[in-house]
Amino acid sequence: QPAYGTIGLIQGGYEGAGAENHQSSFDDVLAAGPGPVADLVAGDYWVNNNVHHSENDFFSITLSQPGSFTLGVIADQTPDNPAGLLWESSDGVRVTGPGGIDSGMADLVPTRDAVPDYVIFQISGDVGDEFTVWGRNHDGWDANALGGVFLDPIPEPTAPLLGLLGCLGLFLRRRR
Protein backbone atom coordinates (compact mmCIF):
# COMPACT_ATOMS: atom_id res chain seq x y z
CA GLN A 1 0.00 0.00 0.00
CA PRO A 2 1.30 3.48 -0.80
CA ALA A 3 1.78 5.90 2.12
CA TYR A 4 -0.71 8.37 0.62
CA GLY A 5 -3.68 6.04 0.11
CA THR A 6 -5.22 2.63 0.67
CA ILE A 7 -6.28 0.45 -2.26
CA GLY A 8 -8.89 -2.20 -1.51
CA LEU A 9 -10.62 -4.94 -3.51
CA ILE A 10 -14.39 -4.40 -3.33
CA GLN A 11 -15.72 -7.63 -4.81
CA GLY A 12 -14.57 -10.62 -6.77
CA GLY A 13 -11.28 -12.36 -6.35
CA TYR A 14 -7.73 -12.60 -7.57
CA GLU A 15 -7.00 -15.28 -10.14
CA GLY A 16 -3.30 -14.54 -10.68
CA ALA A 17 -1.56 -16.81 -8.16
CA GLY A 18 -0.74 -20.08 -9.87
CA ALA A 19 -2.23 -18.91 -13.18
CA GLU A 20 0.78 -16.90 -14.39
CA ASN A 21 0.97 -18.88 -17.63
CA HIS A 22 -2.52 -17.54 -18.43
CA GLN A 23 -1.63 -13.90 -17.71
CA SER A 24 0.02 -11.24 -19.86
CA SER A 25 3.50 -10.13 -18.97
CA PHE A 26 5.04 -6.69 -19.40
CA ASP A 27 8.37 -4.98 -18.71
CA ASP A 28 9.14 -3.90 -15.16
CA VAL A 29 9.38 -0.12 -15.67
CA LEU A 30 11.37 0.26 -12.43
CA ALA A 31 14.14 -2.07 -13.63
CA ALA A 32 17.35 -0.38 -14.73
CA GLY A 33 20.70 -1.36 -16.14
CA PRO A 34 22.00 -3.14 -19.22
CA GLY A 35 20.53 -6.32 -20.64
CA PRO A 36 17.00 -7.67 -20.77
CA VAL A 37 14.36 -6.25 -18.46
CA ALA A 38 12.57 -8.73 -16.22
CA ASP A 39 8.86 -9.17 -16.87
CA LEU A 40 6.07 -8.64 -14.39
CA VAL A 41 2.79 -10.51 -14.63
CA ALA A 42 -0.50 -8.59 -14.76
CA GLY A 43 -3.04 -9.57 -12.15
CA ASP A 44 -6.50 -10.80 -12.98
CA TYR A 45 -9.12 -9.42 -10.62
CA TRP A 46 -12.44 -10.83 -11.73
CA VAL A 47 -16.15 -10.88 -10.96
CA ASN A 48 -18.48 -13.57 -12.33
CA ASN A 49 -21.04 -11.58 -14.27
CA ASN A 50 -23.06 -12.80 -17.24
CA VAL A 51 -25.01 -9.54 -17.68
CA HIS A 52 -23.22 -8.19 -20.73
CA HIS A 53 -22.16 -4.53 -20.70
CA SER A 54 -23.01 -4.18 -17.00
CA GLU A 55 -20.56 -2.55 -14.61
CA ASN A 56 -18.81 -3.92 -11.53
CA ASP A 57 -17.01 -1.95 -8.83
CA PHE A 58 -13.55 -3.49 -8.43
CA PHE A 59 -11.28 -1.24 -6.37
CA SER A 60 -11.66 1.45 -3.73
CA ILE A 61 -8.96 4.04 -3.19
CA THR A 62 -9.06 6.01 0.08
CA LEU A 63 -6.65 8.94 0.33
CA SER A 64 -4.61 9.24 3.53
CA GLN A 65 -3.14 12.61 2.54
CA PRO A 66 -4.46 15.47 0.41
CA GLY A 67 -3.14 16.05 -3.08
CA SER A 68 -3.35 15.24 -6.77
CA PHE A 69 -2.62 11.75 -8.03
CA THR A 70 -2.25 9.74 -11.21
CA LEU A 71 -4.53 6.71 -11.06
CA GLY A 72 -3.72 4.03 -13.63
CA VAL A 73 -5.92 1.04 -14.45
CA ILE A 74 -4.50 -2.03 -16.22
CA ALA A 75 -6.74 -3.97 -18.61
CA ASP A 76 -6.51 -6.50 -21.48
CA GLN A 77 -4.31 -8.67 -19.31
CA THR A 78 -5.47 -12.15 -20.28
CA PRO A 79 -4.00 -13.80 -23.39
CA ASP A 80 -5.93 -16.29 -25.52
CA ASN A 81 -4.73 -19.22 -23.38
CA PRO A 82 -6.78 -21.37 -23.18
CA ALA A 83 -8.67 -20.38 -26.30
CA GLY A 84 -11.50 -17.96 -25.60
CA LEU A 85 -10.15 -16.67 -22.29
CA LEU A 86 -9.04 -13.53 -24.11
CA TRP A 87 -12.51 -12.03 -23.66
CA GLU A 88 -12.46 -12.03 -19.88
CA SER A 89 -11.17 -8.47 -19.77
CA SER A 90 -13.36 -5.42 -19.22
CA ASP A 91 -14.02 -3.29 -22.30
CA GLY A 92 -14.44 -0.01 -20.41
CA VAL A 93 -13.30 1.65 -17.17
CA ARG A 94 -14.57 4.60 -15.13
CA VAL A 95 -13.76 6.25 -11.80
CA THR A 96 -16.25 7.77 -9.35
CA GLY A 97 -15.50 9.82 -6.27
CA PRO A 98 -16.70 12.25 -3.62
CA GLY A 99 -19.26 14.91 -4.45
CA GLY A 100 -20.63 12.98 -7.43
CA ILE A 101 -17.35 12.94 -9.38
CA ASP A 102 -17.70 10.60 -12.38
CA SER A 103 -15.09 10.30 -15.13
CA GLY A 104 -17.59 8.73 -17.51
CA MET A 105 -16.83 5.44 -19.21
CA ALA A 106 -13.44 5.29 -20.94
CA ASP A 107 -13.69 2.73 -23.72
CA LEU A 108 -10.73 0.39 -23.94
CA VAL A 109 -9.00 -0.75 -27.10
CA PRO A 110 -11.57 -2.98 -28.83
CA THR A 111 -8.94 -5.48 -29.99
CA ARG A 112 -8.02 -7.98 -27.31
CA ASP A 113 -4.39 -8.77 -27.98
CA ALA A 114 -3.12 -9.68 -24.49
CA VAL A 115 -0.85 -6.62 -24.47
CA PRO A 116 -1.76 -4.77 -21.26
CA ASP A 117 -3.61 -1.50 -21.84
CA TYR A 118 -3.50 1.37 -19.37
CA VAL A 119 -6.15 3.99 -18.72
CA ILE A 120 -4.79 7.00 -16.85
CA PHE A 121 -6.94 9.28 -14.68
CA GLN A 122 -5.94 12.31 -12.62
CA ILE A 123 -7.71 12.58 -9.27
CA SER A 124 -7.49 15.15 -6.48
CA GLY A 125 -8.84 14.95 -2.98
CA ASP A 126 -8.51 15.37 0.75
CA VAL A 127 -7.79 12.92 3.55
CA GLY A 128 -10.55 10.29 3.70
CA ASP A 129 -11.86 10.88 0.17
CA GLU A 130 -12.77 7.59 -1.50
CA PHE A 131 -12.69 6.82 -5.21
CA THR A 132 -14.07 3.70 -6.90
CA VAL A 133 -12.74 2.00 -10.06
CA TRP A 134 -15.44 0.33 -12.19
CA GLY A 135 -15.07 -2.10 -15.10
CA ARG A 136 -17.66 -2.75 -17.82
CA ASN A 137 -18.27 -6.37 -18.82
CA HIS A 138 -17.45 -7.29 -22.41
CA ASP A 139 -20.23 -9.21 -24.14
CA GLY A 140 -17.99 -12.13 -25.09
CA TRP A 141 -17.45 -13.66 -21.64
CA ASP A 142 -19.43 -14.32 -18.47
CA ALA A 143 -16.89 -12.60 -16.25
CA ASN A 144 -15.52 -9.10 -15.87
CA ALA A 145 -11.82 -8.55 -15.17
CA LEU A 146 -9.23 -5.84 -14.61
CA GLY A 147 -5.48 -6.31 -14.23
CA GLY A 148 -4.95 -3.94 -11.32
CA VAL A 149 -4.41 -0.29 -10.40
CA PHE A 150 -1.53 1.98 -9.46
CA LEU A 151 -1.60 5.33 -7.67
CA ASP A 152 1.22 7.89 -7.88
CA PRO A 153 1.38 11.43 -6.43
CA ILE A 154 1.67 14.39 -8.79
CA PRO A 155 4.31 16.77 -7.39
CA GLU A 156 3.18 20.27 -6.55
CA PRO A 157 4.52 22.60 -9.27
CA THR A 158 5.56 25.18 -6.67
CA ALA A 159 7.96 22.87 -4.80
CA PRO A 160 10.60 22.60 -7.58
CA LEU A 161 10.21 26.31 -8.34
CA LEU A 162 10.81 27.28 -4.70
CA GLY A 163 13.87 25.00 -4.59
CA LEU A 164 15.24 26.63 -7.73
CA LEU A 165 14.67 30.12 -6.31
CA GLY A 166 16.45 29.11 -3.09
CA CYS A 167 19.47 27.83 -5.05
CA LEU A 168 19.51 31.00 -7.15
CA GLY A 169 19.50 33.11 -3.96
CA LEU A 170 22.45 31.15 -2.55
CA PHE A 171 24.33 31.47 -5.83
CA LEU A 172 23.82 35.25 -5.97
CA ARG A 173 24.81 35.62 -2.31
CA ARG A 174 28.09 33.71 -2.89
CA ARG A 175 28.96 35.93 -5.87
CA ARG A 176 28.92 39.09 -3.70
Domain coverage including residue 11: 5-175
Task: Give the CATH number, domain containing residue 83.
Answer: 2.60.120.260
- Taking alpha carbons only, the member of 70, 75, 46 closest to residue 58 is 46
Phi, psi of 89 (to 5 degrees): -70, 155
Q: What is the pLDDT of residues 25-62, one digit of tens each?
A: 555 555 555 666 565 555 567 777 778 788 989 889 99
**Report for 13-22, 74-83, 112-121, 132-141: range of highest mean pLDDT:** 132-141
Domains contained in the chain, number: 1
Instruction: Give the list of residues 6+ apart from residue 37 with CB closer than 8 angstroms, or none.
Output: 27, 28, 31
The number of helices, as runs of H, and strands, as runs of E, in the chain is 1, 14
Q: How far is it, in rounded angstroms, from Cα 5 to Cα 15?
A: 24
Q: What is the pLDDT of residues 148-168, one digit of tens each?
A: 788 888 877 666 666 777 777
Q: How far is it, in rounded angstroms, from Cα 86 to Cα 78?
A: 5
